[in-house]
């Protein structure tokens, strides 16, 4: 089997990808993760006895460490999931996003370039550097505007989006300048098991089952395209194996929903799964002051990946959301572990004065 270096593999999307890669024997996996607040090695507990999986704690900003890992494990590909990814946190602390998403991606590209240049001609042809990015780099859409395509001009509106846009440009530059065989994917909002509960769907699930307010920014009419994480992971692997070098592929769930609709659907699922007499979880909905620069709508046009690679999302939103809610209900130990004092402090910082 080939070997893949996955960065940020203890996070939400990265962990789901690694678990799927080992389950389906896609590759041997080396996981480099800094273990920030949103990382969780418990996500990968099933691989503790898997000799084809290796974990290394470290930072993609550490050029020497990344270079050592590349030389030791001789991967056939690098998939960069490592990123600070929460818009709200980028508003409070943009420097963390610049350090990881921009400078970290640069350091990873540099180490990968030096490694790749020393490979044999055949190994160079087979090597891939796949960068995982976001639809937020494209900015905000009006309600009737066409969905984001790969050639949509970049127009980032948050420090997070700006940092990811910058990293995307560096990846593109390393392909055009040095010939490094890069690929980039820009995905819509992911949801599913093991997502850190600062993001909307797990936040609402956990607040609801603890009878806490369900905060919704503004009027709740901001629209996102929701992509089930397993669908995303399968798309990533398809791009890695069959994508055209130097290209970008947009990956979306074809599930545009307003935030208010998402929250109401979660409440309806909980009303069915863990009902309380004469009570609906929707009564906990609380509208709060909108965050600065909140983009109104995102939507992904998946035509390119569908036509070129034959990928389509398999999970519809209602079935994926039900699976997600059920996972959080079935994993109270995981939930308890992530709901730390630091997590509670973050919720207070972000929501108490809205």
Beta bridge partners of 191: 228
Distance CA 200, CA 159 (A): 19
**Which one of the listed residues 33, 84, 88, 135 is annotated catalytic?**
135
When pLDDT is cut at 50, 70 and 90, the band that residue 343 belongs to is: confident
Q: Is residue 349 part of a domain?
A: no
- The edge-to-edge listing of strands for the beta sheet with 128-134 is 53-57, 28-33, 3-7, 77-80, 128-134, 182-187, 248-251
Domains in the chain, number: 1
- Of 33, 59, 76, 136, the active-site residue reads 136
**Nearest Cα to Cα of residue 76 among 26, 35, 17, 14:** 26
Residue 53 located in a structural domain: yes
At 351 the pLDDT is 82
User: What token pair was written down for 166?
Assistant: 């910058």
Q: Output the domain CATH number for residue 233.
A: 3.40.50.720
* pLDDT mean across residues, the chain: 96
State pLDDT tens for residues 36-68: 999 999 999 999 999 999 999 999 999 999 999
Q: Is the pLDDT of residue 341 over 70?
A: no
The model's pLDDT over 184-232, given as tens digits with 9 standing for 90+, comes to 999 999 999 999 999 999 999 999 999 999 999 999 999 999 999 999 9
Q: Look at the chain and count its residues.
A: 354
Strand partners of residue 172: none
For residue 81, being part of any structural domain is answered with yes
Does the annotation count 135 as an active-site position?
Answer: yes
Average pLDDT over residues 324-329: 98
Q: What is the residue whose two structure tokens read 């799964």?
A: 273
Which residues does 207 contact at the CB level (< 8 Å), separation at least 6? 213, 214, 215, 284
CB atoms within 10 A of CB 348: 10
Report which of 109, 36, 47, 117 is spatially closest to residue 78, judged by C-alpha positions: 109
Asked whether residue 271 is domain-assigned, the answer is no
Domain-located, residue 203: no
Q: Is the pLDDT of residue 354 over 90?
A: no
**pLDDT more than 90, % of the chain:** 95
Mean pLDDT of 19-30: 98
Residue 210 included in any domain: no
User: Whole domain around residue 46: which residue ranges?
Assistant: 3-192+227-255+298-315
Residue 211: half-sphere exposure toward Cβ, Cα within 13 Å: 4
Beta-strand relationship, 223-228 and 256-258: antiparallel
Q: Is 298 a catalytic residue?
A: no
In a domain, 146, yes or no: yes
Of 201, 190, 198, give the one whose Cα is nearest residue 251. Answer: 190
Tokens (6 digits) for 68: 């050592």
Task: Provide the pLDDT confidence category of residue 339 given band limits of 50, 70 and 90.
Answer: confident
- Of the residues 53, 115, 138, 160, only one is catalytic, namely 160
CB atoms within 10 A of CB 325: 24
> What are 63's two structure tokens?
């050029």
CB-based contacts of 50, cutoff 8 Å, min separation 6: 22
Residue 136 falls in the annotated catalytic set: yes
Mean pLDDT of 161-167: 98
């Amino acid at each position: 089997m080939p070997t893949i270096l996955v960065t940020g593999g203890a996070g939400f999307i990265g962990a789901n990808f690694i678990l799927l890669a080992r389950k389906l024997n896609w590759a041997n996996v080396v996981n480099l993760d800094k273990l920030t607040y949103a990382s969780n090695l418990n996500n990968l507990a099933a691989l503790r006895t898997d000799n084809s999986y290796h974990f290394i704690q470290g930072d993609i900003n550490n050029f020497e460490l990344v270079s050592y890992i590349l030389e030791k494990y001789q991967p056939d590909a690098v998939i960069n999931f490592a990123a600070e990814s929460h818009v709200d946190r980028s508003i409070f602390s943009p420097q963390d996003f610049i350090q990881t998403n921009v400078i970290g991606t640069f350091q990873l590209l540099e180490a990968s370039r030096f490694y790749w240049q020393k490979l044999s001609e055949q190994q160079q042809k087979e090597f891939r550097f796949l960068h995982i990015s976001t639809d937020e780099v494209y900015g905000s859409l009006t309600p009737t505007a066409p969905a984001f395509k790969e050639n949509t001009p970049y127009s980032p509106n948050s420090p997070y989006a700006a940092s990811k846009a910058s990293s995307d440009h560096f990846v593109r530059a390393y392909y055009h300048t040095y010939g490094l065989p890069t690929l980039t994917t820009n995905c819509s909002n992911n949801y599913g098991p093991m997502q850190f509960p600062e993001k909307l769907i797990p936040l609402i699930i956990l607040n609801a089952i603890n009878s806490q307010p369900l905060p919704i920014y503004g009027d709740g009419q901001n629209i996102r395209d929701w992509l089930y994480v397993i669908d995303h992971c399968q798309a990533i692997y398809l791009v890695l194996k069959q994508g055209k070098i130097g290209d970008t592929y947009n990956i979306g769930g074809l599930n545009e929903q307003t935030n208010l609709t998402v929250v109401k659907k979660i409440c309806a699922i909980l009303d069915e799964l863990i009902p309380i007499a004469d009570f609906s979880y929707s009564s906990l909905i609380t509208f709060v002051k909108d965050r600065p620069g909140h983009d109104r709508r995102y939507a992904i046009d998946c035509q390119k990946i569908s036509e070129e690679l034959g990928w389509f999302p398999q999970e519809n939103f209602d079935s994926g959301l039900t699976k997600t809610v059920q996972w959080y209900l079935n994993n109270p130990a995981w939930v308890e572990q992530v709901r730390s004092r630091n997590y509670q402090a973050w919720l207070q910082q972000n929501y108490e004065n809205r």
